[in-house]
Amino acid sequence: MNNQNNCPHQWVQSSPFVPNWAQQSQTSEFAPPTECVTPNPVTPNPVIPNPAFPVTASLQMCTPLQVVQTSPTTVLVTVSIPAETVFTLPTKALELKKIRKNVKITQCRFFNFSPPVCGKPQDTPKLFLGGFVRKDIQYSEAIRQTATTVEGVIKDFVIDIPFTCVIELGRRLRVPPTLFGQQQEYEFLSTSSLPSGFSPKDKLMSGDISELNMVSTEFLNQLPTCKLVYTQINEMDDAIDRVSLQGGPFEEGLFSTVQEKMTILIQLQLTFPTPVEAAD
């Protein structure tokens, strides 16, 4: 019964008769438990944040280069997004050899404006865009050198460069307005007698406060679908910590930190569930 203090939720009973030979064995199946074994708690899967979107941030606004309606329900949006980053290679590089780039879109969310109300300012529709540029960088790493030669090996390094942008669609298109749900209450007339002091011909007529009658209306708006059509990346990569290669040709040097500037040209196709109209 001593184990009950340590294990308050363990059911115990009187110990059965155990022979001497079993009591001397530490591994006997008759040996009473000496401690509570608490199973390890289940650890939930960690939540990996989206690298392209900080927890709290004021996102940059981008004016589209072109917004063209290609059909009654589709719109082609072209935008140029500037981006800059500084990254460090895992080892010292002699020269950048090749960089393969791919644009990955992780968010393309249309954000509609509220219906116009007389006397109140009205916002414009916007497109929240986010993603990253996957870069596969191949560079040479010097392993030995002489006064006139350098021998190296090719290394590979992959890095994701995030970007965000809110595209201002302006008033060029008349998109279908957002429909709002509503709740409306209604009541029934309730008639009851009045207490003493009132004429017996009079009745108390009012709504019944003990009931709640309501009509709820819900509109299920549909977001337009987004399709990536075309991308173009114009970039400049500059080493910012380059030092001379000791014992090698005088014009050679090593670096590991790279400053990169990019303009990312993206063309998207928005397809609306209902026709849109071009503004005059």
Residue 94 neighbours by CB under 8 Å, 6+ apart: 139, 140, 141, 142, 150, 152, 245, 252, 253, 254
Sign of the C-alpha dihedral computed for residues 87, 91, 95 and 98 taken in this order? negative
Q: Of the ranges 67-71, 116-120, 220-224, 266-270, which one carries the lowest mean pLDDT score?
A: 116-120
pLDDT for residue 3 is more than 90? no
Which secondary-structure segment (H or E) carries 22? helix 20-23
Least confident residue range of 44-58, 145-159, 167-181, 258-272: 44-58
**Which residues are CB-contacts of 184 (< 8 A; sequence separation ≥ 6)?**
214, 215, 217
Residue 59 has pLDDT above 70, yes or no: yes
User: Nearest Cα to 105, choosing from 53, 180, 168?
Assistant: 53
Q: For residue range 216-241, list pLDDT tens digits in order.
A: 999 888 889 999 999 999 999 999 99
Q: What integer is the mean pLDDT of 77-88?
A: 93
Tell me the two tokens of residue 253: 């040097």
- 3-state helix, strand and coil shares in percent for the chain, rounded to the nearest 5: 5, 50, 45
Locate 144 and state its tokens: 């030995």
pLDDT in tens, 137-191: 999 999 999 999 999 999 999 999 999 999 998 877 777 778 888 999 988 888 8
DSSP code string of 268-280: EEEE-SS--EE--
pLDDT at 29: 47
Q: What is the pLDDT of residue 53?
A: 56
Residue with tokens 């009205």: 122
Asked whether the whole model's pTM tops 0.75, one would answer: no
Distance CA 133, CA 50 (A): 14
